Amino acid sequence: MSWRDNLLSFKEKIIKGERITKEEAVQLYEIKDIEGLLKAANEIREHFMGNKVDLCTIMNAKSGRCSEDCKYCAQSSHYHTGIEEYPLVTKEAALNRARENMSLGVHHFSLVTSGSTLKGDDFNTILGIFAYLHKELPQLKICASLGMISLKQAQQLKMAGIKTYHHNLETGKNFFHNICTTHTYKERVKTIHKVQEAGLQVCSGGIIGMGETIEDRIDMALELRNLGIKSVPLNVLNPIPGTPLENNVILKPQEILQTMAIYRFILPMSYIRYAGGRQVLKQYQEKGFQGGVNAALVGNYLTTIGNGIEDDIKMITALGLKVDI
């Protein structure tokens, strides 16, 4: 079969509710017609997900001094990146940021903390912050990203008003040890299982451009499919000076868009979410929304600056898509 025949065959297979295999996903990477690939991915998105785009925002609620050695991260205490370090934010600061984002049309809001986990007083404090946000802004969909947690902690978060817990796989299982040595891939999957057991939704994805192979990227997508993840943020590495990956070559827009389109084939009923680093796409960002992407992390990120919320909403609506609130 030609690559054109493969593309049509795989698209029809997905539309019929079947799954593509790892070998077939690799074949999608061999397709030269990127526009055709994006168009097919968009047709899959339209069929399963309609024309709604999900937007979310995050607040860096505790910065720096992380004991983990994730090689991409500016917040690791193993590297010298010059980022601002601070303890947990106040509930008033979190409320003000949440209200600001809601006023701009974004109703998903997450607090993200540095470190492998939150313990003791810090965890109890953030539970109080989440409960406060839930009380003051009951219409807000609150998310959390606090590292590895126990089943009991996940249950406490749910009681405090959390709807979704974010915990990235980061990369494929076979590549993970090249990115982090202070905890394992298995521990990350274990956390996701605990969160799901507590009845919370899970947001999980990873980063591309860290030196992984195409097979590694596909492995991550297949793991996310096996875990039943419905919100998949895809970050693009924008190398941070002072980290071990500071000299990595930034992926070209074509490869980024190609990867996101293939994730749509593997995860047809999930939100494929633009996350950190999408600014490297520059003027090609809208092509992602025409190639299977249907969600975005908007506003400022953890240690970098993101797109303006108003600009993102304007771009999305101009493409004939609707922001989901």
pLDDT digits (tens, 9 = 90+) for 79-115: 776 677 777 899 999 999 999 989 888 889 999 987 7
Q: Stretch 160-174: mean pLDDT, rounded?
A: 96
pLDDT digits (tens, 9 = 90+) for 173-187: 999 999 999 999 999
Q: Which domains does the chain have, with CATH numbers?
A: 23-324 (3.20.20.70)
Q: Which of 55, 302, 90 is nearest to 203 (CA)?
A: 55
pLDDT band at 68 (very low <50, low <70, confident <90, very high): confident
Is pLDDT larger for residue 43 or for residue 80? Answer: 43
Q: Which of 194, 198, 204, 206 is nearest to 230 (CA)?
A: 204
Q: Looking at the predicted structure, is the pLDDT value of residue 304 above 50?
A: no
Share of the chain above pLDDT 90, in %: 71
Rounded distance between C-alpha atoms, residue 274 and residue 289, angstroms: 9
Long-range Cβ contacts of 21-28 (<8 Å, 24+ apart): 22/215, 22/218, 22/219, 22/222, 25/218, 25/221, 25/222, 25/262, 25/265, 25/266, 26/214, 26/215, 26/218, 27/3, 28/261, 28/262, 28/265
pLDDT digits (tens, 9 = 90+) for 235-268: 999 898 989 999 999 999 999 999 999 999 999 9
Share of the chain above pLDDT 70, in %: 95
Kindly state the tokens that stand for 69. 């050695």
Q: Which of 123, 61, 55 is nearest to 95 (CA)?
A: 61
Q: Looking at the predicted structure, is the pLDDT value of residue 119 above 80?
A: no
Q: Stretch 141-152: mean pLDDT, rounded?
A: 94
Q: Which of 149, 194, 167 is nearest to 110 (CA)?
A: 167
Q: Looking at the predicted structure, is the pLDDT value of residue 28 above 50?
A: yes
Quick one: CA torsion of 125, 127, 195, 297, rounded to 10 degrees? -90
Rounded distance between C-alpha atoms, residue 293 and residue 234, angstroms: 10
**pLDDT at site 302:** 47
Q: Residue 232, Cβ neighbours under 10 Å: how many?
A: 27
Q: Residue 221, Cβ neighbours under 10 Å: how many?
A: 28
**pLDDT at site 258:** 96
**pLDDT at site 293:** 97
**pLDDT at site 307:** 64
**pLDDT at site 1:** 57
Mean predicted lDDT score pLDDT of the chain:
91
**pLDDT at site 309:** 85
